[in-house]
């Protein structure tokens, strides 16, 4: 999760909830890379909380999964 957040990009912002959705790649091995979505909450000034993380569904997200399909 840390790798996805550190090297990913913000896909969506949920300002009312003080949350963002970050999408980033994770290298599992030298030959295997997956994309991960991580929802982070920044309501506290001292830390960021990881709310949830999931592998995005290819039916909903474009590949690489940084934009919702229309």
From the list 16, 62, 58, 18, the residue with the least C-alpha distance to 39 is 18
What's this model's pTM, rounded to 2 decimal places?
A: 0.89
Percent of the chain past pLDDT 90, that is, above it, reads 83
| pLDDT score at 23 | 96
- Can you give the three-state secondary structure of the chain, one letter per residue? CHHHHHHCEEEEEEHHHCEEEEEEEEECCCCCEEEEEEEEECCCCCCCEEEEEECCCCCCECCCCCCECC
Half-sphere exposure (CA, 13 Å, Cβ side) for 23?
A: 16
pLDDT in tens, 13-42: 999 999 999 999 999 999 999 999 999 999
Residue 64 has pLDDT above 80, yes or no: no
């Amino acid at each position: 999760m840390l790798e996805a957040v550190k090297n990913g990009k913000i896909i969506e912002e949920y300002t009312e909830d003080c949350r963002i959705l970050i999408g980033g790649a994770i290298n599992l091995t030298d030959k295997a890379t997956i994309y991960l979505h991580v929802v982070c909450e920044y309501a506290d000034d001292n830390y960021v909380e990881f709310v949830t993380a999931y592998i995005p569904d290819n039916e909903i997200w474009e590949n690489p999964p940084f934009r919702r399909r229309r």
